[in-house]
Structures are given as C-alpha cells and as structure tokens.
Copies of this chain bind each other. A is one copy, B any other.
Amino acid sequence: MSMRLPASARREQILDVSVQVFARNGFHSTSMNDVAEAAGVTKPVLYQHFDSKQDLYMALLEEAGNRLRTAVSKAVVSAANGKEQTEMGFRAYFRWVADDHDAFLLLFGSRANRDEESTTTIRRITAETAKAIAPLIAADIEPEHQRTLAQGLVGLAEGVSRYLVERGDTFDPEVLGQQVADMAWAGLRAVHRTG
C-alpha cells in the first residue's frame, strides 16, 4: 500500500511522524497502530526499526533533548558576560520552542506521559539545562539554593512556553526571550543582594 523506502529513510520518517502523533496525543493515548497509520505503513514495520513502543518513544525524547541542548549551549557560548548569556540563552530556548514545538510538547507538554524511564530522561534534560544556568546565579548563596533557583528559571521558561504553545499562539522568540531574560536577570541579581 505505501511506497517502499530504504530502511534508514523509513526510520527517519517514522521518527518524524511519531513526534507529531505523540506530541499531540501523549504516550498512552497513542497506539502503535496510530503511529503506523500516520506513517502510512503497518505495525510490524515499526518493529523492524524499534524494539518496542517504549524504545521508539525514548529515541524521540533523546533526539528532542539533543536539539534543545545544542540550541541553547551554542547560543550561550557566544555571549560575553552573564547578562548576555541570560539573554542569548532564553532567546535560543524560545527559538527552539517556536520551530520545534512538537519536540517541546513531547518533552514538556501537558500530555507528556511519563513512566519511570521517560521521567528519568526528561529530568536529566531539565537538570542539564539547569546546570547551564546555575553559574549565573550569585555564587555567594548556598549551592543547594543556587541549583534550586536554577530549576525555577527552567520552570519559568517551560511555563511560558507551555502556555503559549498549547494555546496555539504564535510569538516572536527574540522579543519574548528578551523580555523573559530581563525578568530573569533582574531576579538573579536580587538573589545576589538578598542571598
């Protein structure tokens, strides 16, 4: 029924399609048949490329996480000082959300289902992001609090994005990123003073 594709191309296509399906409906509400149908193929084909539903899902999470990580870290290294890092970081984050928003929903959307394994992966991704932020927070407070507040800033970006993406709003990542960065940077300095 469907066009024949070489294995590697089919694998890519399945990944592409299933990001969308899982992002839209969540893990448990999406059956392998749904994925197969969306890919224009039947179920056993999926199992030629992935060991299990979980395996496919994990592959998606990893890929999405990688794209997020590289986007942000690339942006941050090009910055001179802390303030610029904050700005570049948030703008890159929102840029990623804007043009890879199925991946965002997959990782952080309301429908993101999380069993033991995916939870671990997603937490790792979040933690990595937080780790990148932590140094921006004044060093004169306890490292514990530093890490906690960094997680808060990640949550801030996440909350903003979830709100906008799930409403279907379009937004300019540069403007939004700048605005959120302003807010975050001022907050970071306040912690410095209050610490």
Contact = CB atoms under 8 A, between A and B. Distances in A.
A114 B122 contact: no
Copies of this chain held together in the complex: 2
A158 interface: yes
Nearest to A145: B179
A180 interface: yes
Given A156-B159, A158-B155, A160-B155, A179 B115 contact: no
A29 B118 CA distance: 13
B123 A119 contact: no
A180 B155 CA distance: 12
A187 interface: yes
Interface of A: 26, 28-29, 110-115, 119, 122-123, 130, 145, 147-149, 151-160, 162-164, 166, 176, 179-180, 182-191, 194
